[in-house]
Amino acid sequence: MDLILLAVPFFFVLIAVELIADRVRGQRNYRLADAINSLSTGVLSTSTGLLTKGVGLVSYALAWEYLAFSRLPGDAWWTWLLAFVLYDLCYYWLHRLGHERNILWAAHSVHHQSEEYNLTTALRQTSSGFIFSWIFYLPLALIGVPPLVFVTVASLNLLYQFWVHTRHIPKLGWLEWVLITPSNHRVHHAQNPLYLDRNYAGVFILWDRLFGTFQEEDPREPVVFGVTTPLASWNPLWANLQFYAQLWEDARRTHSLRDKLRIWFMPTGWRPADVAARYPQAKPDLARFHKFEIPLGRRSQVYVVAQFAAYVALGSYLMQVAEQVPTAGLVLGWTVMAFGLFVLGAALENRPWARRLELARLASNAPALYLAGAMGLGPVTPLGWLLLLGYSVASLWGLTRCGCLALGAQGAEPAAQPEQATERQQAAEHP
């Protein structure tokens, strides 16, 4: 049973509840572009996981089958409890090293890029974490935790972490000493020097207290969310590539062959001396911190939200049929998903070429639907073509009659404010 798939509707219900709480309390913990960007990285991560989950599962199953020192009974309650606790310990070290080593931070940084903190942040996940994460859970296989137990406690651990991504829940008394709470996890998402790289556990804050990485939320030090090298983009593909690109650029620029190799595995933030001298990186002044923002008209926002809803539906469908669909079909589904989310990111960034790219996306849907039938992604019926026609007509109407994404010289969108000019320029430099 896929617990994550079952939980998806509840995720969106709780996000709606948090939005209502924002309104009732007069807070503004959501910005549309930021929320869509977080959810887009989550949808992309889930779609990628359908193609890559075998890396971790097969590795774990092989280790359990051939290398386990013992076999723990899968029907014993204490096996489940032990597995749940030890999984969180393994997660702690994966998470901690994900902050302390460049190559691991390149994957994990996606989760921290949002400058807001709300329940959509919880769904903001990497698409490349599968490359190394499986290594950290092999100890569970070696002591004999059955694969079914492992997969289930992994899902439970991830589900627990959803609710702590909120600003509406204060400190919870004695629970702060035992569990990861919203307060403890707000600290983890901060870029303040006091809070940086603290509170790594997924469920039990005891690990941080034990290994010296705990930091309490201090009311005298308001949390500033985000990363010290801002993403400055609403594009989910660039979100996953940003830090890899930075490491690659530094590796290319340095004259030291040794540094070209070791930069990937050095502590986070380490750069070759010659590169750091020639290309210094300024860190943001938190006293003058401004969140990344690009103005976008309300009609364009409504259009993007409607199109994003279609990709949420597509992602849910892919999760439901993944076990019965050939790999070629999943690759097609991922390609459609990645391209569509890229286009929506360009729209949120108010790119001058976003309208043309959106037309290309709409035009690509017909061949994509045809290929879906050929690749076993699902039956293509006359009703399917009719629905696609209706969707395309409605989208074109949104682009033309409603003036959505009428960018650049057409002037349908408001101009950027002066204080946002630098951020807008930074975003324009991204691929």
Q: In the prediction, which pLDDT does 419 show? A: 38
314 contact partners, CB below 8 Å, separation of at least 6: 333, 336, 337
Q: In the prediction, which pLDDT does 66 show? A: 96
Q: Residue 420 corresponds to which tokens in the numbers above?
A: 């946002």
Q: Note the pTM of the prediction, 2 decimals.
A: 0.91
Task: List, for the chain, all residue ranges whose pLDDT scores fall below the cut of 70.
Answer: 1-2, 402-431
Q: In the prediction, which pLDDT does 285 show? A: 82
Q: In the prediction, which pLDDT does 414 show? A: 39
Q: Residue 51 corresponds to which tokens in the numbers above?
A: 């193609």
Tell me the pLDDT tens digit for each residue of 100-152.
999 999 999 999 999 999 999 999 999 999 999 999 999 999 999 999 999 99
CA distance 405 to 411: 10
Identify which of 53, 140, 127 has the alpha carbon closest to the alpha carbon of residue 90.
Answer: 140
Q: Residue 52 corresponds to which tokens in the numbers above?
A: 């890559």
CA distance 24 to 172: 22
Q: In the prediction, which pLDDT does 304 show? A: 95
Q: In the prediction, which pLDDT does 400 show? A: 83
Q: In the prediction, which pLDDT does 406 show? A: 53
CA atoms within 13 A on the CB side of 267: 2
Q: In the prediction, which pLDDT does 35 show? A: 97
Q: In the prediction, which pLDDT does 421 show? A: 38
Contact 343/357 with Cβ under 8 angstroms? yes
- Taking each helix axis as running N to C, give the angle between helix 327-348 and helix 354-374, from 0 to 180 degrees, rounded to the nearest 10: 170
Identify which of 230, 350, 235 has the alpha carbon closest to the alpha carbon of residue 291.
Answer: 230
Q: In the prediction, which pLDDT does 288 show? A: 84
How many other C-beta atoms can be found within 10 angstroms of the C-beta atom of residue 364? 15
Sign of CA dihedral 21, 24, 25, 31: positive
